[in-house]
């Protein structure tokens, strides 16, 4: 006959196994999501290239090229933000909630700086540029990326609030929202780096 302690240990083993399986499924799902959405961003880059080759020069005659100064500052802010997100996740896994919260706040602040600069870039496209595919594709690409960054920032804000309430122990099995948010922000960073090079440096 099974004792109460044995039954409890068996139930705990079953719960641990289920938690491990959920974590594996979450990680696999995230990998599939990131791969599929990076392909969408790559498709936009291909569209940009196809359009630029339909013009004799790029940017078209009479249109000034986009200034990379502000976008470069935004890119630096985004990279630092991603590094802080990773630092926060590592701190939480070590049980350092205070370090996590501080890193996460800085991460989100830099993310807001990034989005604010890209929003400015989106809005100041000249009428001359918007009369060509050069300006239209720039707005399409930056707007598309900005929408993703905003949505993922909302996820990060929710994670921050939940962490402040002590919802995450740092064990990956019960702290998946934190790991997932970090990986989503990596996605934002990688997608932007591709757009940044295509929009501001390739002529």
Q: In this predicted structure, what is the pLDDT of residue 55?
A: 86
The parent domain of residue 39 ranges over 4-200
CATH number of the domain that residue 73 is part of: 1.20.120.80
Helical (H) or strand (E) element with 152: helix 133-164
* Alpha helices, H only, the chain: 4-52, 69-93, 97-123, 127-130, 133-164, 176-200
- In tens, the pLDDT along 13-48 reads 556 687 788 889 988 998 998 899 889 999 999 999
Q: In this predicted structure, what is the pLDDT of residue 146?
A: 96
- In tens, the pLDDT along 72-112 reads 999 999 999 999 999 999 999 999 999 999 999 999 999 99
pTM exceeds cut of 0.75: yes
- In tens, the pLDDT along 148-164 reads 999 999 999 999 999 98
Give the count of domains, the chain.
1
């Amino acid at each position: 006959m099974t004792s109460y302690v044995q039954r409890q240990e068996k139930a705990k083993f079953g719960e641990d196994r289920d938690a491990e399986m959920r974590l594996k499924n979450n990680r696999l799902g995230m990998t599939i999501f990131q791969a599929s959405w990076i392909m969408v961003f790559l498709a936009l880059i291909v569209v940009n290239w196809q359009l630029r080759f339909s013009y004799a020069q790029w940017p078209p005659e009479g249109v000034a090229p986009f200034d990379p100064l502000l976008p470069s500052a935004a890119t630096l802010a985004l990279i630092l933000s991603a590094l802080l997100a990773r630092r926060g996740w590592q701190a939480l896994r070590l049980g350092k909630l205070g370090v996590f919260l501080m890193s996460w706040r800085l991460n989100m602040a830099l993310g807001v700086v990034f989005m604010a600069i890209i929003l400015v870039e989106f809005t100041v496209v000249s009428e001359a540029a918007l009369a060509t595919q050069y300006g239209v594709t720039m707005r399409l690409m930056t707007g598309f990326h900005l929408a993703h960054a905003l949505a993922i920032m909302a996820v990060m804000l929710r994670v921050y609030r939940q962490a402040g309430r002590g919802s995450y122990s740092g064990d990956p099995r019960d702290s998946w929202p934190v790991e997932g948010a970090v990986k989503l922000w990596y996605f934002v960073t990688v997608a932007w780096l591709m757009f940044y090079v295509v929009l501001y440096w390739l002529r």
